[in-house]
Structure 1
């Protein structure tokens, strides 16, 4: 899942030809913020904080497809996702993922999982990832970079609302893969099942 330093630079340059002028924007219906807004484009907006350099390849807007499967569902099920990882110049990254289910022809069936949170790199290279899910689950992951372009994290704590599913743990691996895409796999323990594969996807950079 990793590239050499030169290969990563060359891949980034090729991708930038199509995405360098695209970014997340404020709604035109709202006045400009009096403070720095989020940016998912390293060429636009606030400079990336030095504390986030180990996470630099993640910054951008990513979109692609994957599949979800688990013993408690009738799967595998095809889905698509948009993942935004942005920053405002401070020592953390903003994370937002929106997913939707697809039929066998790639048509949208309905909206699916959503999550928002923060990547918080620490001085000892540890990464904290805090995620809140629309399903009523809050998760705190800890992990470290596996290389310059891959990151592995596991839950240290899971909090559930009274209406949420019985989730007890999760593990995620993110990495820059072929052609500069972002790939990830997630394992999850829930509904009485042991930790095991749950979702995987390959996302293409669409901005940043």
Structure 2
């Protein structure tokens, strides 16, 4: 059979381990704001993609761009591994070379995920990162806090995204 004529297989069923977070699956797009004591505040456009392959893991990718020009800004990707006990493990590789290993919890009823860095690797200044994702009135909101060798944990990014 010619590869160009082959039908794409149907999407696999959602693995039971990721069912509690299946509301995240799909593409989310919106705008965010960022800042930190050592940088100027900024706004950005953003797209998040949560997908699955039928395995007990969610693939995650994110990209941002300047609202004025569409010029790419930041990108990252990784994997979310929810556990039946309500805990979750997340690994994220950023386009800057920074790598995060995060652990946290999820609440399927409240549609809330809280993550805290266990390890921030390949970072010259960043020492800690926390992320909170919450579904509010059908929109995905998140807040990222960051600590550096000069500043304690404080707000860095926040965004509100709609499923497209």
TM over 0.5: yes
Give the aligned length: 161
Q: Which has the higher strand share?
A: 2
Q: Moved runs in structure 1, 4+ residues, more than 6 A?
A: none
**In structure 2, what is the equivalent of residue 134 of structure 1?**
95
Q: Deviations over 1:6-65 (max 9, x none)?
A: xxxxxxxxxxxxxxxxxxxxxxxx8699x96xxxxxxx6111000001211111100000
Equivalences for residues 17-32 of structure 1 within 5 A = none
Residue 51 of structure 1: SS of its match in structure 2? coil
CA contact (8 A) 1:135 1:165 kept: no
Q: Would you tell me which structure has more helix in proportion to its own residues?
A: 1
* TM-score of the superposed pair, with normalisation by structure 1: 0.72
- Unaligned ranges ≥5, structure 1: 1-29, 37-43
Task: Answer 1 or 2: higher relative contact order, Cα 8 Å, separation at least 6.
Answer: 1
The answer for the alignment partner of 1:170 in structure 2 is: 129
Q: Structure 2: which 5+ runs fail to align? A: none
- 1:123 deviates by 3.2
User: Within 5 Å, which residues of 2 pair with 1:1-208?
Assistant: 45-75=11-41, 77-102=42-67, 107-108=68-69, 110-148=71-109, 149-160=111-122, 164-178=123-137, 180-190=138-148, 192-206=150-164
Q: Deviations over 1:102-137 (max 9, x none)?
A: 2xxxx2252111000000112322100100001010
